[in-house]
Structure 1
Amino acid sequence: MKKTIQLLLVLAFCSQTGFAQKETTILTIKNTAEAPTINKNIYGHFAEHLGRCIYGGFFVGDTSKIPNTKGVRNDIIAALKELQIPNLRWPGGCFADTYHWKDGIGLQQERPTIVNKWWGGTTEDNSFGTHDFLNMCEVLGAEPYLSGNVGSGTVQELADWVQYTNFSGKSPMSDLRKKNGRTEPWKVKFWGIGNEAWGCGGNMTAEYYAGEYRKFATFMSDWENTGGITRIASGSNSEDYNWTEVLMKSIPNNMLGGLGVHHYAVIDWSKKGDGTDFSEDGYFHTMKSALKMEELVTKHAAIMDKYDPAKKVAMIVDEWGAWYEVEKGTNPGFLYQQNTMRDAVLAGATLNIFNNHADRVRMANLAQCVNVLQAVILTDKAKMITTPTYSVMKMYRVHQDAKLLPLSFQSPLYTFNGETLPAISASASKDKNGAVHISLVNVDAKNNNKIEIDIKDLGVKNFTGTIITSAKLQDYNSFENPNKIVPAVFKGFENKKGKLEITVPPFSVLVLEGK
C-alpha cells in the first residue's frame, strides 16, 4: 500500500515584512497504538435562525430565481458537500428555546408566524422547518443535530419530536409525519436538551438544569434504531467549571451522551472590535482568547474524568469561533461579519486543539455556517463566496475519522507588547489508507518560523505544496473580489537526508503532500 503524507501548515501572514526565527522548531511524530481516533464530528457546523443564516442564506424559497432545490440554494449545498461536513446543528442557539417544531410542519401557507425575539425581532413564517432541514441534511450527507426546546417547551413536545423523526411503526407522530409526505423516518441521532440553560435558555442554575435534563431525557427514547439516540446536555459558558462539575455529578452517565461547552474568541464583550479594520493588538488579543480553548478543554476534561474515567461521555464544543462587531450598516441583531486571514489562523489553531483532545472531544460546531459570525459561506442575493475559514476546514477534512498521531515539540513564542503566546500549534493523524497528515499553525503575525520534521520512518520522499496567502492579515474575499485569497503552488521547503525543512511565512495557509 502506498504511503502518503500531507502536511497541512496553517500559518499567520502579516502586512509587515517577516524575518526568519533563528531557532528551528523540531517536530516529532509519535505513532502509538493507544491513540484515539479523531471523530469526524469535530468538523461540524451550526445553522441557527439568526440573521441571514437560514432565510436569505440556506433557504430562498422554491419560487426564487436563484438556483435551488425545494427552496435550498444549490451553490451552498455544493460548497458544503465539498467540505464533507459531518453534522449540522439546528435550529439554535438561543432560538431553539423559543422554537415549537409543530409550527414548522404541514402546508407552508397554514403555518403560523413567529417573532425572533433573540435576533433582530424579525417575523418569520416557519417556511423552513423539520422536513426542510432533515431533507437538506440527507442531501449533504450530514448527520442532523437537533436542539430541543427546554426553556419554553414541554417534555411531551420534545418526546413527540423524537417520535416524529425516528419512529417507523404506527403512532400519532409517525402517522402525522406520513401525512406530511415523509414515509420513512430520518433516524436523527444527536439531540440537544436545551441550549445555554445558564443564559438565554432559561437563566437556570446548574442544579436546577440537571433536574430538568434528567426529566426530559427520561421521556426521550428510540428503541428501533441501532445505538439509540445521543442526548446532549447544555454545557458550560467558557470557564464555568462548576457547571460541568454539577452536571457530571448529578446526571448518570447512562443518561448522558454528551456535555456541551461554548467558547467564543472575543477581545472584550463590551467592545468586540472590527472584523476587518483591526491592528496587531486586535489580532493578538483575539488569538489569546481563541487559544484559551486549550485550557478550557483540558480543565473541563479533568472534571469529566473524575465521574467518567472510561470517557463514555463526549465533550461537545457545539459553539465556537470569533465574534466581532457587525459589519457597518448591517442589522446589529444579525451578527454578520467578514472573515479575514485572522479567522483562518484562529480556525486552524482551534481544530488542532480539538484533534489533540480526541479522547474526549468528539463533536464541535463552528458558529455559524452561512452569513453569521465566523461563517464559511457569505451570500449577497444571487452571489455566494467562500471565506478563508472555509479553506481551512476543507484542508483539515483529512483528519476526519483518522487515527491521532501525538506530536511533541517546543513552540517558539509570539511576543507583542510584553505579552506572549505559543507561535506554533500542531496536530497529526493517520487515515485508514495509511496516509499521514500534519497540520501546523504559525500564530506569529510578523516572523517566519522554521519547522524540521524527521520523515525517515514515514517512507515518503517526493513532496508538493499548496499555499494560501495574502498581502495583509486584514485581507478577505469580497463579492467584488471573491478570489483575493486563493491557493497557489508552494515550493518553500527542502528534503535533506530524511528531514523535511520548511520555512513558513507569517500567516499563510500551506499544504504539503509527500508520496
Structure 2
Amino acid sequence: MKKNKSLLLAATLFLGMGVSAQNSINLDTEAAKTTISKEIYGHFAEHLGRCIYGGIFVGEDSSIPNIQGYREDVVGALKDMHIPLLRWPGGCFADTYHWKDGIGPRQNRPSIVNVNWGGVTEDNSFGTHEFLNFCELIGAEPYVNINVGSGTVQEASEWVEYVTSSNVSPMTDLRKKNGREKPWDVKFWGIGNENWGCGGNMTPEYYSDLYNRFATYCHGDLYRIAGGPNVADYNWMEVVMQKTTRHRHLVQGVSLHYYTFTTAWEDKGSATDFGEKEWFAVLSRTLRMDELVTKHSAIMDKYDPDKKIGLIVDEWGDWFNVEEGTNPGFLYQQNTLRDALVAGVNLNIFNNHSDRVKMANIAQMVNVLQSVILTQDDQMVLTPTYFVFKMYAVHQNAELIPMDLKCEDYEVDGQKIPAISASASEKDGVVSITMCNLNPNKAETIDLNLAGTSVKTASGEIVTSKNMNDYNDFGQAEKVNLQSFEVKKPKDGKLTIEIPAKSVVLVQLQ
C-alpha cells in the first residue's frame, strides 16, 4: 500500500433493519511503531486429559499415522496455522513435575500420578526431549514452565543447564548420553505457575522471594517469567513487581491468567447448548480482558515505565462444563462459533496492548478447554478457534496501527457491550484489519474512506456459520471454517463492505 504522510481510514458502519448509525474506525499508519509480538499467538499444552497422550503423541508403534510418535495430522495442522510458540508442561501439572523422570530410555522412566487432572497414571514417555523435538518439528518456540511448588532450586538450575548449555558438565554429558549433542535454543522459562493456588497457595511476598532465588540460579540469556496474578488480584501484581524489579536483570515477564465462564466457577455453562443470553454473557465477560490488561499494565508502569517487562497472558480462553460422559478431570469441551468470536476479541485486545503484552497462550491446544484441534482415535477435527488463529496469523510481527474505534452497542436484556471489536496492523506494505461483529442478529455495513491512499488490491476472509452454536464434529462436514470474503475494489478512495452477523472478518489492503 502506498503511504502518504498520513493514512487515515475512516470507517462508517450502518446497522441493518433500516436504521443507520454512524460508527468509525480511525487509523494512522504513520503511528505504527509497536511490533505485535508473534508470541501473542502462542498455545499451551499441559499434561491434562488427552492433550499430550492421544492428542499430540501416540508413539512410534501406533497405527495412527505419526512422525516419530507425533500425530501426523496434528503436526500438519499446526504448521498450516503458523503456531509460533508452545508452553509446557503446565499449568498446575508443572509444579508436580520432576523433569529427570522424563528423560532417558522410555522403558526406564518412572510413572507419575497426575494428581491435578483426573488422578491418572502417566508413564513419562513424553518428556523434555519429546517436547523440544516436537517444537522443532512444528516450527514453534518452546516455553518451559519450571517447578517451584514442589521442586528445588538445584532441580531448576540443572534443567536449564541440561537444555541450553554448550559447556562440558555433568548435565550436558547426560543430555548427550540421552541422544542430543547440541543444546536447544530455549529462551522462555516460566518460574512457577499459579503460585497463589495450585502452585503452592503462597502469599505474593513469599512467592516473590522464591522467584528471586530461583531466577538467580537459572543462568543464561533467558526470558524469565514470574508467576503473576489471578484475574483482578492487583495486590499480587503490585507486590511481585515491587519485589522482583529490585533485581531488574532477573525478570523479563509477569504472567496473567483469565478464563471466560458463562456464569460462575461452580457452573460454567454448556459449550454448545446456549441461546443469545449465554452468547452475550460470554462475550461480555471476554471484553473484561481489556480492563484487566489495562489495570495490570498501569501497575507495571510504576515500576517499569520503559515497558521492558512483558505482560504474559499465558492462560486465557473459554472454560465451560465438560462434555457429558467424559472424565471431569480431563476438561474436554466442544468448540462453537461463539468460541471463534471469543478468540478474535481476545486477540484484538492483545494486539491493541502490544506495547505491554508480549506473549499470550490460549488454553489449550488439543482436546482441552478452548482447543484449536480435537482428536478421537485416528480422526481429527479443526475447531472454529483454529480458523481464527489461522486468519489472524497476518498480525504476527506486524506493526500495530493504533485505532480510535467508535461503534454501536449490542444490547440484551438492558445490558450493553460494543458491537464491534477490531485491531489493525501493517507488514510488507499490506494493511490487515480484523473485525468481530459480536451481534448475532445484525450485519454491519462499513464504509472505509481511504484518504490520500492508492490501493491496488483488496481481499478478505471470514469465519461464520448459520447458527451461533454451530461446531465441527467427527464424521461430519465442517460447519465452521475459513472462507474467502469478497471485498470490492475501492472507488474514489472509498470501500464499502458488509460484515455479516456473528462473524470474524479479515480485510487486507495493498
Bin the TM-score by the shorter chain: over 0.9
- Rate the CA distance shift 1:21–1:513 in 2: closer, same or farther, 3 A: farther
Deviation at 1:461, TM superposition (A): 4.2
One-letter amino acid of the counterpart of residue 231, structure 2: S
Residues 454 and 493, structure 2, Cα contact 8 Å, conserved in 1: no
Which residue of the partner structure matches residue 47 of structure 2? 49
What is the DSSP-based 3-state SS (H/G/I as helix, E as strand, rest coil) of the residue aligned with 1:32?
Answer: helix
Deviation at 1:482, TM superposition (A): 4.2
Which residue of the partner structure matches residue 28 of structure 2? 30
Residues 317 and 370, structure 2, Cα contact 8 Å, conserved in 1: yes
Deviation at 1:20, TM superposition (A): 6.2
- Rate the CA distance shift 1:354–1:148 in 2: closer, same or farther, 3 A: same
CA distance in 2, matches of 1:143, 1:400: 14
CA distance in 2, matches of 1:487, 1:18: 24
Residues 2 and 455, structure 2, Cα contact 8 Å, conserved in 1: no
Deviation at 1:25, TM superposition (A): 2.3
Deviation at 1:447, TM superposition (A): 1.8
CA distance in 2, matches of 1:377, 1:457: 43
One-letter amino acid of the counterpart of residue 254, structure 2: L
Match of residue 389, structure 2, among 388, 393, 405: 393
Deviation at 1:497, TM superposition (A): 2.5
Deviation at 1:509, TM superposition (A): 3.0
- Rate the CA distance shift 1:143–1:487 in 2: closer, same or farther, 3 A: closer
**1:363 and 2:353 are equivalent in the alignment:** no
Residues 494 and 502, structure 1, Cα contact 8 Å, conserved in 2: no
Which range moves more in the overlay, 19-28 or 308-317? 19-28
What is the DSSP-based 3-state SS (H/G/I as helix, E as strand, rest coil) of the residue aligned with 1:63?
Answer: coil
Q: How does 1:116-515 map to 2 (within 5 A)?
A: 116-222=114-220, 228-252=221-245, 253-267=248-262, 268-431=264-427, 433-491=428-486, 495-515=490-510
**1:65 and 2:63 are equivalent in the alignment:** yes
Deviation at 1:512, TM superposition (A): 3.2
Q: Deviations over 1:303-360 (max 9, x none)?
A: 0000000111000000000000011111100000111000110100100000000100
Deviation at 1:492, TM superposition (A): 6.7
Deviation at 1:276, TM superposition (A): 0.4
- Rate the CA distance shift 1:493–1:508 in 2: closer, same or farther, 3 A: farther
Residues 24 and 451, structure 1, Cα contact 8 Å, conserved in 2: no
Deviation at 1:62, TM superposition (A): 0.7
Residues 234 and 296, structure 2, Cα contact 8 Å, conserved in 1: yes
Residues 146 and 191, structure 1, Cα contact 8 Å, conserved in 2: yes
CA distance in 2, matches of 1:19, 1:126: 58
Residues 228 and 255, structure 2, Cα contact 8 Å, conserved in 1: yes
Specify every segment of 5 or more residues in structure 1 that has no aligned partner in the other structure, as ranges.
Answer: 10-16, 223-227
CA distance in 1, matches of 2:449, 2:116: 52
Deviation at 1:266, TM superposition (A): 1.1
Q: Deviations over 1:107-147 (max 9, x none)?
A: 10000000000000000000000000000101111110000
CA distance in 2, matches of 1:158, 1:58: 25
Residues 344 and 504, structure 2, Cα contact 8 Å, conserved in 1: no
Residues 494 and 501, structure 1, Cα contact 8 Å, conserved in 2: no
Deviation at 1:254, TM superposition (A): 1.9
Deviation at 1:510, TM superposition (A): 2.7
Q: Deviations over 1:269-297 (max 9, x none)?
A: 11110000011111111111111000000
Residues 32 and 402, structure 2, Cα contact 8 Å, conserved in 1: no
CA distance in 1, matches of 2:21, 2:421: 16
Residues 41 and 362, structure 1, Cα contact 8 Å, conserved in 2: yes
One-letter amino acid of the counterpart of residue 23, structure 1: A
More relative contact order, 1 or 2 (CA 8 Å, 6+ apart): 1
What is the DSSP-based 3-state SS (H/G/I as helix, E as strand, rest coil) of the residue aligned with 1:232?
Answer: strand
Which residue of the partner structure matches residue 13 of structure 1? none
One-letter amino acid of the counterpart of residue 179, structure 2: G
Which residue of the partner structure matches residue 14 of structure 1? none
Specify every segment of 5 or more residues in structure 2 that has no aligned partner in the other structure, as ranges.
Answer: none
Q: Deviations over 1:404-427 (max 9, x none)?
A: 101112121010000001111111
CA distance in 1, matches of 2:260, 2:16: 25
One-letter amino acid of the counterpart of residue 273, structure 2: D
User: What's the TM-score once normalised by structure 2's chain length?
Assistant: 0.95
Deviation at 1:35, TM superposition (A): 2.9
Q: Deviations over 1:193-223 (max 9, x none)?
A: 000000000000000100000110011111x
What is the DSSP-based 3-state SS (H/G/I as helix, E as strand, rest coil) of the residue aligned with 1:495?
Answer: coil
Aligned CA RMSD, in angstroms, stands at 2.0
Deviation at 1:18, TM superposition (A): 7.2
One-letter amino acid of the counterpart of residue 150, structure 1: V
Identity of aligned residues (%): 56
One-letter amino acid of the counterpart of residue 492, structure 2: K
One-letter amino acid of the counterpart of residue 74, structure 1: E
One-letter amino acid of the counterpart of residue 435, structure 1: V
CA distance in 1, matches of 2:477, 2:377: 15
Q: Deviations over 1:4-45 (max 9, x none)?
A: x9x9x9xxxxxxx97465114222211234631100100000
One-letter amino acid of the counterpart of residue 509, structure 1: V
Deviation at 1:463, TM superposition (A): 2.7
What is the DSSP-based 3-state SS (H/G/I as helix, E as strand, rest coil) of the residue aligned with 2:381?
Answer: strand
Residues 344 and 392, structure 1, Cα contact 8 Å, conserved in 2: yes
- Rate the CA distance shift 1:481–1:24 in 2: closer, same or farther, 3 A: farther
Q: Deviations over 1:369-404 (max 9, x none)?
A: 000000000001000011111110001000001111
CA distance in 2, matches of 1:231, 1:490: 41
CA distance in 1, matches of 2:273, 2:305: 46
CA distance in 2, matches of 1:418, 1:238: 26
- Rate the CA distance shift 1:140–1:414 in 2: closer, same or farther, 3 A: same
What is the DSSP-based 3-state SS (H/G/I as helix, E as strand, rest coil) of the residue aligned with 1:80?
Answer: helix
Deviation at 1:511, TM superposition (A): 3.2
